[in-house]
Amino acid sequence: MGKNNKRKRTAQVQSQSSKLLTPPSESPSASALLIDSEDLECTINVLETLCDFPEELAGKEMKGLKRKVHELYRIMAEGSGLGTSLTSKISTALSDYRFTDALIYLFEMYTRKLTPKLGALQRWVRECDATSNEDGSPGDPEALKCLDMILRIANMSHPTHVPTDQKVLGTEGSMKQKGSDNVVDGMDMGGIIQGKQIFRAREDNEEIKIWGLIKDGKLFDTPPPNPYPNFRPVHHVKAADRKPPNLYDSTVYGSSPGAIALAPSTERKRPTKVDVPGVPGAFVVLDVFTPEECLQIVRAAEAIGWEKDEAKSGSAINKTSILAKNFVWLSDSSFLDHFYSSILPFVPATAPISVDGNGGGKVRGINARFRVYQYTENQLYRPHIDGAWPAAGLHPETGEYLHDSSPPDDPLWSRYTLLVYLNGEGDIPQDTGCTTFFLPSDKIGVMEAHSVRPIQGAVLCFPHGDTTGSLLHEGSAVGKGGIKYVIRTDLLYEAKGFGQYKPPASVGVKQGGKEEEGLGG
């Protein structure tokens, strides 16, 4: 390039730098497109010239331009530019099992205080877990270190340290030490995961030993009728049409009012709430259902039949947890009304406010779509983070099952997970089958495992649906000779006007929706 061309390009740089420094409000086209194609092309030419002739940046007239370029880089690094690039790099490294590379990228995101979207957070957790061994023990230690850093990035580090011999304050609830701090569910985690105490919301609990009835052939007094009374299929999804594609079909069964006979209030214990120590936002509501009501639910599921759940492809095929059997139940209004009224005094009245300022909608109900899970010996649901869900239901006129049944002008969106324990101590071997939460400790590279022991008729509640505050958890393996029954559903909040929490337009399950993504407890 000759001197004349250089001077011409330099003049363009100076002219364009002046334009760049002009506030948008002073531009005659500010009310139209902020940057048109000609301005963008000219800006690119300016930057290319400065790359070719960096000495031009030495002039005083370039001071403003350099300042603005530096600010642009900072915005890109903290916002959707470099942040998105880091997200992509982390995702790729984890999917390729390059955990050392992923850890470097994660630490960069951590030091820059960049926050990933919830969807990215969930994918990263799944990729780390895909290296787990068949017995549920962790695989590559570097994957666990990545998992620890992922939780710190998500700003979920709120450890509460309770001495191993300390009782929880209050009339109910206690902490029991597992033994070794490095042993979780009987497996040595090598110090990367420190097993804390098992939490029992109540020591002594009246219960029906359902597993004992099944083994003795006494679950039913007489063979159950077929079809089962007050339950009917409301939707069926072929395996190939599930999201993601599965090896097994899925059927949703709806119940009629009275399908589960509820005890009168005079024969029930009053529900009480106990916070889970060391796990921010998690609590247990005791005595929501009676042992007899839990037994009725298990009877219905056992009579109608369990379905297998096994992904056809993707990282989920490396998990043993998906082999847990389930029964998908669309609950009736009378059962939901009892459930909701029992826990309403104890749940947050409004949804948490996210780092983006979303949230704040009022609590409105419980998602009618239940997944009843049956976990037999050694079955588990590996660590995951729950996503948010719309309100499932039936179309009021056609009776069609809808993944999102709330009106467009009054959408509902879940923000808390509800786990209903249908059996407990008598069926689940000592210190197994817990719901275990994983949180960062005060030492980078070390996580804490806080386990909650199932109690028949109790409900475990904890937040989900946001990058900040959603809890990493697993349905830990059931011990030898045991069985575990649990319902997983959601607490619904108003979503209208709350940004990312507004659910998509209603879609039928026959179209897939998002309902086939994993749940668990």
Given a cut of 70, whether residue 270 has pLDDT beyond it is: yes
Q: Give Rg (Cα) of the chain.
A: 27
Supply the pLDDT for residue 440. 92
- Residues 6 or more apart whose CB falls under 8 angstroms from that of 258 comprise 230, 332, 334
Nearest-angstrom CA–CA distance, 193 and 139: 12
Q: What DSSP element (H or E) covers 440? A: strand 435-440
Give this prediction's pTM.
0.78
Find, among 108, 106, 147, 102, the residue nearest to 125 by Cα: 147
Rounded to the nearest 10°, the torsion over CA 351, 354, 358, 362 is 10
Contacts of 276 (CB under 8 A, 6+ apart): 199, 282, 283, 284, 437, 450, 452, 460, 462
**Strand-pair partners of 283:** 275, 461
How many whole angstroms separate alpha carbon 186 and alpha carbon 180?
9
C-alpha span between 209 and 380 (Å, rounded): 20
Residue 20's SS3 state is helix
**pLDDT tens, position by position, 227-238:** 999 999 999 999
pLDDT digits (tens, 9 = 90+) for 496-515: 766 555 444 433 333 333 44
d(CA 102, CA 124): 10
Cα 425 from chain centre? 27
Provide φ and ψ at 101, rounded to 5°: -60, -45
For the segment 300-358, what is each residue's pLDDT rounded down to a tens digit? 999 999 998 877 765 555 554 445 689 999 999 999 999 999 999 999 999 887 666 66
Q: Which residue(s) pair with 175 in the sheet?
A: 199
